[in-house]
Amino acid sequence: MSTASRAIPIDSVPRSVWAVPLLVGVAVLLEVTVMPFIGILDGVPDLLAPTVVAIGMLRGSLTGAISGMVGGLFVELASPIGTLGVLALLYLCVGAFAGRYHEREESMGWVVPIVFSVTAAGAVELGYGVVQALLGNGLGPADLVGRVILPTMALTALLSPPVLLAARYLLQPREPKPQESA
């Protein structure tokens, strides 16, 4: 039997098998290469938060949690961050919490995912700031909120709609093909 006869046609592979890793990979790549150059004060836009929120809301809590953990871990491995595992845990929580809204009707609109993405970006920055403060490396509370969290949330709010649009395009179920009658 030749390998060509055993090849799986691309139409039979579910879109989420390749779309979820593609979305997370592109978000991580942009997060560590382009986003550090776009910033206000010490705030940097967070592309991984809206990506993980969209994946969680469209595919459920398990897929959202796994994509958040993997994305957070890759961000930590690709950028010079001293505390390994903190971002992975924070994005895991974001993905799992966003996945809880998978079956709710309001997750299909635009307002809830954008608000949740912005809130998730702020929560990740707050969680990371708290861990850094516990380690003795952090900013004061006023500097953390004013110089990091609020600018990050504002920039994430500007970049969330295109991320959510791309995720909805790639992760929405395809229409079933009509069966040919024999």
pLDDT the model gives residue 10? 54
Six-digit token pair at 50? 């809206």
pLDDT the model gives residue 179? 59
pLDDT the model gives residue 92? 94
pLDDT the model gives residue 42? 75
Residues 6 or more apart in contact with residue 27 via CB below 8 angstroms = 47, 48, 51, 71, 163
For residues 52 and 69, give the distance between their C-alpha atoms in angstroms, rounded to a whole number: 9
- Tell me, what DSSP letter sits at residue 148? I
pLDDT the model gives residue 81? 72
If you compute the radius of gyration of the chain from its CA atoms, what whole number of angstroms results? 18
For residues 44 and 131, give the distance between their C-alpha atoms in angstroms, rounded to a whole number: 18
CA of 79: how far to CAs of 28, 35, 47, 134, in Å?
10, 12, 15, 21
pLDDT the model gives residue 105? 62
* pLDDT tens digit at each of 182 positions of the chain: 555 556 655 555 566 677 888 888 999 898 888 887 887 777 788 899 999 999 988 888 888 999 999 999 999 888 877 778 888 999 999 999 988 876 666 556 778 888 889 999 999 988 888 888 888 887 777 777 777 788 888 888 888 899 988 888 888 755 555 555 55
pLDDT the model gives residue 70? 93
pLDDT the model gives residue 13? 58
